[in-house]
Structure 1
Amino acid sequence: MDSYATAAQVYVAGLVFARVGAMVMLMPGIGDDSVPPRIRLSFALLMALLLTPLVQNTVGGVPTSVGGLWGQVIHEILIGLMIGSVLKLFFTAMSTAGEVISMQTTLSFAQTTNPSMGQSSTAVATFLSMLGLTLIMATDLHHLFIGAIVKSYDLFPFSRAVPVNDAATLAVRTVADSFSLGVQLAAPVIVFSLVFNLAVGLVGRVMPAFQIFFVASPLSVILGLSLLALSLGGIAMVWTDRYRDLLLIFN
């Protein structure tokens, strides 16, 4: 083994792979369930091999005990999970917007498999999730993912303890911001639904014998989806800017 790599080099590479692997498993796009695990592991291994020479001078000596070794590995995994989880949680803003739009346009019953979430969701939520993933790749935001992996060794060096309290606060704030952004993205359809339902209710009171359900349901779907189509450009720009701001925190 010494003819290929020393014990210290193998130790550093293992620590780097632990952090990078945890981040890659949760990153949007690369970490989706639709991506085969071998591809994700291969990407994480390649990144670890590239980063090991850059950070090997910041790592201390190899621990002399098994407990110290596992402590360092768990430390790196926790940091990787923390960063990857924040990036994954904010990505759910598009799914939240899709779910809200589906409820407002009576399309909640149209369920389909969401490749990015690994579970069933409404067709509109799946479409917006795929739109968000496409925007990440089209606007080169995935380059900031790689930058976040590299920069994490400056923000959270090997010798620094895992900031558990800060990580919990950041996770809670990310979930709140993600839900808030999802509702904001769906705001045009929410306003339309409110006005439309008030108008339908008024018509129903004025004309009790009129079969309002058979008229209102198709109109709600057609007008709601038309409004969604008109607002897609604004949704894409707002979400991309907010996600870029989040990624810049780790770069």
Structure 2
Amino acid sequence: MRIELLPLETLQAFLVCAARVAALFSALPVFGSAQVPMRIRVALAVTIAMVVFPVLPRLLPATPLAPVGLGLLLAREALVGFMIGYIARLVFIAVEFGGAIIGYQMGFAAANVFDPTSQNQISLISQFQNVFAILIFLAFDIHHLFLRLIADSYRLLPAGEMNLGGEAALFLSRLTGEMFVLAVRFSAPVLVVLLLSGLALGLMARIFQQLNVFMLSFPVNIGVSFISIGLTLQLLAVMLNREFAALPERFHTLLNLL
């Protein structure tokens, strides 16, 4: 029985497709998490690449490449996939940073937990808001967007045509800077309540001078913060949905600049 092997150009084209898909999924907030076993991540990336590959024959290299040329092409395609995933991850970074701001202001500076996603110690409120953002990400089917984006990315930027110029770098830098503004927006409602709470405690300290406001401020700030977080979860969901809805436009802008 004779076994027919895949042509070399077909195998190389599949590797090029898999490089972009694997890098994209490794940078995604949910699928690229360290909580997901490596075997599952690899199997998922290969499966998606096998599904997308048959519809991309004209957008992939059709001739065999030298080992050096193939390695460079794989690296460039992986960079494209990583940048796409990085744009989506910025939203989750902003959520975690906003949670850290809230945690420090409410008195949870030392209350850190281990985050298996980043393998670091993060604020307790950051962990809570990050899990909430993941639930919104899945509830609004944002992960389906990336399945459509894989095919669209080859239509907007065929394999091997990436040209990382100044405009693309400035665009990514601007999005990274906006992440800090977005973090403040996520934490602003709770910060305003904490500011008003601090003003009220300051007035109490002036009126009741024998009152130990310093010891009273800890439970008051923690209680007020938890109530504010619970009341503003719907607002946070609306803000997250708006940011997730803006992702396709950002992806297309990046691919057009590359």
TM-score (norm 2): 0.90
SS of the aligned residue for 2:175 comes to helix
Q: Give the deviation of 1:117 after TM superposition.
A: 3.0
Q: Give the deviation of 1:245 after TM superposition.
A: 1.1
Task: Report 1:60-209 matches (<5 A).
Answer: 60-209=61-210
Deviates more, 1:86-95 or 1:32-41: 86-95
In the superposition, relative to structure 1, how do residues 39 and 233 fare at CA in structure 2: closer, same or farther (>3 Å)? same
Percent identical among aligned pairs is 26
1: distance between equivalents of 2:26 and 2:220?
Answer: 42
Which position in structure 1 is the counterpart of 2:256?
none
Q: Give the deviation of 1:161 after TM superposition.
A: 2.6
Which position in structure 2 is the counterpart of 1:210?
211
Answer yes or no: is the 8 Å Cα contact 1:20–1:149 preserved in 2: yes
1: distance between equivalents of 2:15 and 2:3?
Answer: 16
1: distance between equivalents of 2:149 and 2:251?
Answer: 5
Q: Give the deviation of 1:64 after TM superposition.
A: 4.5
Residue identity in the other structure for 1:138: A
In the superposition, relative to structure 1, how do residues 104 and 237 fare at CA in structure 2: closer, same or farther (>3 Å)? same
2: distance between equivalents of 1:64 and 1:86?
Answer: 31
Aligned-residue RMSD, C-alpha: 1.9
Task: Report 1:236-247 matches (<5 A).
Answer: 236-247=237-248
2: distance between equivalents of 1:2 and 1:93?
Answer: 52
Query: Any idea what the Cα deviations from partners look like across 1:177-230, whole Å, max 9, x if unmatched?
Result: 222112112111111122222222233234333211222211111011101100
Deviates more, 1:176-185 or 1:160-169: 160-169
Deviates more, 1:225-234 or 1:188-197: 188-197
SS of the aligned residue for 1:14 comes to helix
Deviates more, 1:86-95 or 1:53-62: 53-62
SS of the aligned residue for 1:53 comes to helix
Answer yes or no: is the 8 Å Cα contact 1:106–1:220 preserved in 2: yes
Q: Give the deviation of 1:81 after TM superposition.
A: 1.4
Which position in structure 2 is the counterpart of 1:28?
29
2: distance between equivalents of 1:232 and 1:87?
Answer: 21
Query: Any idea what the Cα deviations from partners look like across 1:91-130, whole Å, max 9, x if unmatched?
Result: 2121122111112211222111223333211111101000
Residue identity in the other structure for 2:53: T
2: distance between equivalents of 1:178 and 1:53?
Answer: 37
Which position in structure 1 is the counterpart of 2:39?
38
Which position in structure 2 is the counterpart of 1:58?
59
Deviates more, 1:68-77 or 1:56-65: 56-65
Query: Any idea what the Cα deviations from partners look like across 1:34-71, whole Å, max 9, x if unmatched?
Result: 11111111010001111111112222333453322222
Answer yes or no: is the 8 Å Cα contact 2:21–2:81 preserved in 1: yes
2: distance between equivalents of 1:122 and 1:64?
Answer: 48
Residue identity in the other structure for 2:92: F
Query: Any idea what the Cα deviations from partners look like across 1:134-160, whole Å, max 9, x if unmatched?
Result: 111111111002122221112221241
Residue identity in the other structure for 1:44: A
2: distance between equivalents of 1:35 and 1:87?
Answer: 18
SS of the aligned residue for 2:122 comes to strand
Q: Structure 2: which 5+ runs fail to align?
A: 253-258
Residue identity in the other structure for 1:124: I
In the superposition, relative to structure 1, how do residues 42 and 214 fare at CA in structure 2: closer, same or farther (>3 Å)? same
In the superposition, relative to structure 1, how do residues 60 and 215 fare at CA in structure 2: closer, same or farther (>3 Å)? closer
SS of the aligned residue for 1:112 comes to strand
Q: Structure 1: which 5+ runs fail to align?
A: none
1: distance between equivalents of 2:32 and 2:123?
Answer: 21
